Structure 1
Amino acid sequence: MSRRRIQLCADDYGFDRAISLGILDCIDAGVVTATSCMVLSPAWPHWAPALKERGAQADLGLHLDLNEFAHYASRSLKGWLLAAYRGAVPQALAAPWIESQLDAFERRIGRAPDYVDGHQHLHQIPGVREAVLQVLTRRYGHACALRITCSRHWRGAKAALIGRLGGRALAAGARAEGLRVNRDFAGVYDFEPATDYRERLEAWLRSLPEGGLMMCHPGRAGSTETRADGIRAARVNEHAVLAGGQALGLLQSLDIEPGRCRDWDVAGPD
């Protein structure tokens, strides 16, 4: 039996020093093989070079940001969802935001992103998702992959809700455009510091198929120089497992090979 290839993707690279260093630790540990970049953060220009040096070790993606560092981030997550589902986020409005963030990624990394996803999954909401599909295919053809949030198995109410807020519609659009997508999605939890992250990690890894994706949010301890980070304690817990050897041991015991976007195909979830 061949080994399963599953990608562990660290979100929020460039948010600040502690998060960026924590993600680099996890890439260097051979566990994380993708990271999603917040190119509007004031810390991004400083941390982009270290990531660029690791381009052979991990896929580098754009973490589309509508509600954190963007000048148009006046809405909360809830505000964006309400606006999108009442038709107040037209594709023509969203497309320039996506273009500008792709430009910012390319300026620092020197090439197109391997994939695109979204901060708090806002890349999948109505208006934005259509713009994402249009911009990606126009700029890159079929070369840039796309994260989808649909889970093939029950992984809790929060995970199910995230998938229902546009995941299937985005997957259908990606299939229609011939874009590669992950075959399953895991990593959603409540970020409570008391969570046994190793236990969660093992459960997610056991349930993911070949070509699946598990998102994670590792970071080192420390204050932030950019914006308040409400999940810092959870990031530190994740970092201890992902960079400290436990995750690598789990991957080996479960016969899992850290995957890449090239393992994905255009056949998203049914």
Structure 2
Amino acid sequence: MSLRRIQICADDYGFDRAISQGILDTIDAGVVSATSCMVLSPAWPHWAPALKEREGLADLGLHLDLNEFAHYAARSLNGWIVAAYRGAVPVSLARPWIEAQLDAFEKRLGRAPDYVDGHQHLHQLPGIRDALLQVLCARYGHACALRITRSRQWRGAKAAIIGALGARALAAGARAEGLRVNRDFAGVYEFQPAADFAALLKWWLDFLPDGGLMMCHPGRAGATETRADGIRGARVKEHAVLAGGQGRALLQALGIQPGRCRDWDVARAD
């Protein structure tokens, strides 16, 4: 039986100590194969060296941040969505933000990101996505991959809404530029502490194809030293599954190899 290569990507690295340590645990467990970095967080400079020590164990990406630690983060998530679809976030405005975050990533890790995605998926919105495509191609050619949020099958209303906010347009732009993208996308849920993350994990992994991506948000328990974290309880539950033996055992039982961006293909037409 051939193994399916699925990238399991932990978002929000660098947010604070508990989240960063928790993500490192899941990488060390051999379950998480990518992590997306919040380079505007005041904790980022402290936690970047730990990723350099794990070079080769996981893909490292930029978690483009417009609404968490950014000094221009005056809008809520809904505010960014409305502004982008009203044309109030032109390419000329978004490009410097993207360039600055890529600079911060490269400064601490000494290399380009393997991929870019977005905090709360804002990287796929109009204006922002156009600027992102321009910047990535100018800086890296075809070398940097992109996360696409489109689910290829029904994975709930929230997942469908996220994908509808720009996944097709971003994939079309990536296809025009010859950029690699994930084949499918999973990991969306309501982050309720009562959620059965182990059952959700099995459901997502059961149906993801080779070259698919599952995002996750593991973290250790503990107070934050940066900003309030509204999903800490869910993070702790994810960490227990992904950093413990349960996550690794599930991958083995399902015939899944933790995937990397190099497993992805150039974006294709639907």
TM-score normalised by L of structure 1: 0.99
Cα separation, 1, equivalents of 2:74 and 2:268: 33
Provide the C-alpha distance between the structure 2 equivalents of 1:11 and 1:157, rounded to a whole number of angstroms: 21
**Hey, what does 2:122 align to over in structure 1?**
122
Corresponding position of 2:221:
221
**Quick one: distance in 1 between partners of 2:246 and 2:268?**
30
Q: Deviations over 1:5-55 (max 9, x none)?
A: 001000000000000000000000000000000000000000000011112
Distance 1:235 1:269, change over 3 A: farther
Aligned partner letter, 1:164: A
Give the counterpart letter for 1:256 in structure 2. Answer: I
Letter in 2 for 1:201: L
- Rounded to whole Å, the distance in 1 between the matches of 2:251 and 2:267 is 25
Amino acid at match of 1:38: M
Q: Secondary structure of the equivalent of 2:36?
A: strand
**Structure 1: gaps spanning 5 or more residues:** none
Corresponding position of 2:158: 158
Q: Deviations over 1:170-218 (max 9, x none)?
A: 0010011000000000000000000010000000001100000000000
CA–CA distance in structure 1, aligned partners of residues 236 and 155 of structure 2:
23
Secondary structure at the residue paired with 1:74? coil
8 Å Cα contact 1:152/1:269 also seen in 2: no
Over 3 Å off, 4+ runs: none
Aligned to 1:232: 232
CA distance in 1, matches of 2:172, 2:6: 22
CA distance in 1, matches of 2:213, 2:269: 13
| Superposition pairs of residues 21-40 of structure 1, within 5 angstroms | 21-40=21-40
Match of 1:113, as an amino acid?
P
Equivalent residues in 2 for 1:1-270, closer than 5 Å: 1-268=1-268, 270=270
Structure 1 counterpart of 2:257, one-letter code? E
Instruction: Output the amino acid matched with 2:136.
Output: L
Give the letter aligned to residue 88 of structure 2.
A
CA contact (8 A) 2:92 2:131 kept: yes
Deviation at 1:267, TM superposition (A): 3.1
d(CA) in 2 for partners of 1:195, 1:230:
15
For the residues of structure 2 that align with 1:62 and 1:267, how far apart are their CA atoms?
19
- Verify the 8 A CA contact 1:218 1:242 in the aligned structure 2: yes
| Letter paired with 2:10 | A
* CA-CA distance at 1:244 after TM superposition: 0.8
Q: Give yes or no for contact 1:11–1:37 (8 Å, CA) kept in 2.
A: yes
Partner SS for 1:71 = coil
- Tell me, yes or no, if the aligned pair for 1:4 and 1:255 is still in contact at 8 Å: yes
- What fraction of aligned residue pairs are identical, expressed as a percent? 81
Structure 2 runs not aligned, ≥5 long: none
Q: How far apart are the structure 2 equivalents of 1:228 and 1:107?
A: 26
Letter in 2 for 1:235: R
Shift of 1:269: 6.6
1: CA distance between counterparts of 2:269 and 2:22?
31
How far residue 127 of structure 1 moved from its aligned partner, in angstroms, is 0.3
SS of structure 2 residue aligned to 1:35: strand
Query: Contact (CA 8 Å) 2:38, 2:64: kept in 1 or not?
Result: yes
Deviation at 1:2, TM superposition (A): 1.2
Kept in 1, the 8 Å contact 2:182–2:265? The answer is yes
